[in-house]
Amino acid sequence: MPQRHSKNNNDLAFFTYDERRKLGYGTQKERLGRDSIKPFDACCICLKPLIDPLCCNKGHLFCKECIFECLLAQKKDIKRKLAVYMAQQKQDKEDELEKKNLLREAELDTFDRQNNSAVPNVDDRSNASDRSGSGFHGANSVKVTSYEEEALRTMKAFWLPSATPEAQERVQAPSTDTCCPEGKEKLKLKDLFSVHFSDVPHREKKELDLDGDRFLCPSCSVTFTNTSTLVVISSCGHVFCKKCCDQFISKDKVCLVCSRSCKSRHLVTLEKGGTGFSGHGDDLEATTFKHVGSGTGMGLSRPTTRL
């Protein structure tokens, strides 16, 4: 069946509606789906459901194994960078000492020549006879002096691959602090604390749905979702919704599950959203153009925006 004439007609002096859509004319906005948002119970490193969850003081959740491996890898990298930096410092000291020794030898040589200039030695007379006799070598001579040989050997020529000088790479002093892989703030192992979610009662594992609604607030029994604002108590690790935390825990200063006392600094709000692999935050407007293919009807698409 032939296509419509409006899509096959390409001899017009202006763009048709279909051509404008393919070229991306107009304002195009899209909503980010739930596949673009990291679940609240997913690790910020592996993006999988949490196993033995740990939380930092900024509210980022990690699997225990993932964050331990991350901090251990950072410590190994810091150790390697420190070794390179210390070797560079040692080499700088050796170069400085060698430069001082060469300068001192040059000063001593100059002093010795100035004091002994009135007394001619045998070497000077032999050199003078060589210059006056047949031993003199002019500019066109094939024979070169030891100084010229050294200059030719150490010559740096940018036009010769074998003689191209190499720039010495300088290493800055590395930081000795490990950082959070999500928030980039300083993070130590002792700053992490365990998190305990309250499971939905009378629910089997085979009943898990796509939304992953398997945790609830122990106070109001509201099921947690990606739209919920959650607060964890760092002293005991129990998680509550923001509403219950403001109404009860913040006033009574006591955990509603274990009756353990807590202070305002122990209340940590869990961060929403995800990592570089998923969208998070309130400002999700794209600022770059990319070609998504003519078959989608978007062509060179405009920046996408979350409404």
Q: Do domains 41-109+174-194 and 196-201+213-306 have the same CATH topology?
A: yes
Q: Can you tell me whether residue 291 is helix, strand or coil?
A: strand
Q: What distance in Å separates the CA atoms of residue 254 and residue 256, rounded to the nearest whole number?
A: 6
Backbone angle region of 59, left / alpha / beta, with phi > 0 → left and psi within -120 to 50 → alpha:
left
Residue 235 has pLDDT above 50, yes or no: yes
Q: Give pLDDT, residue 101.
A: 93
Model-wide pTM > 0.85: no
Q: What distance in Å separates the CA atoms of residue 258 and residue 235, rounded to the nearest whole number?
A: 11
Quote the percentage of the chain above a pLDDT of 90: 36
pLDDT band of 304, cuts 50, 70, 90? very low
Q: What distance in Å separates the CA atoms of residue 82 and residue 3, rounded to the nearest whole number?
A: 68
Residue 194 has pLDDT above 90, yes or no: yes
Residue 278 has pLDDT above 60, yes or no: no
Q: What distance in Å separates the CA atoms of residue 22 and residue 29, rounded to the nearest whole number?
A: 15
Q: What are phi and psi of 301, to 5 degrees?
A: -75, 150
Query: Which DSSP letter does residue 295 get?
Result: G
Q: Can you tell me whether residue 239 is helix, strand or coil?
A: strand
Q: Is the separation of the CB atoms in 243 and 259 below 8 Å?
A: no
CATH 3.30.40.10 given to domain 196-201+213-306:
yes
pLDDT band of 74, cuts 50, 70, 90? very high
CB-CB neighbours of 234 under 10 Å: 20
Query: Which DSSP letter does residue 36 get?
Result: G
pLDDT band of 76, cuts 50, 70, 90? very high
Q: Give pLDDT, residue 293.
A: 45
Length of the chain: 307
Over the stretch 122-160, which tens digit does the pLDDT of each residue have? 454 455 444 444 444 444 444 545 666 677 667 766 676
Question: 41-109+174-194: which CATH number, 4.10.280, 3.30.40, 1.10.3470, 3.30.70?
Answer: 3.30.40
Mean pLDDT over 102-110 rounds to: 91
Q: 29-37 long-range CB contacts below 8 Å, 24 or more apart?
A: 29/304, 29/305, 29/307, 30/304, 30/305, 30/306, 31/306, 31/307, 32/279, 32/284, 32/306, 34/211, 34/226, 36/278, 36/279, 37/226, 37/273, 37/274, 37/278, 37/279, 37/280
Question: Which two three-digit tokens encode residue 34?
Answer: 């739930």
Q: Could you state, in order of their start, the residue ranges of all structural domains in the chain?
A: 41-109+174-194, 196-201+213-306
Mean pLDDT over 251-264 rounds to: 90
Which region among 123-132, 258-267, 294-303 has the lowest average model confidence (pLDDT)? 294-303
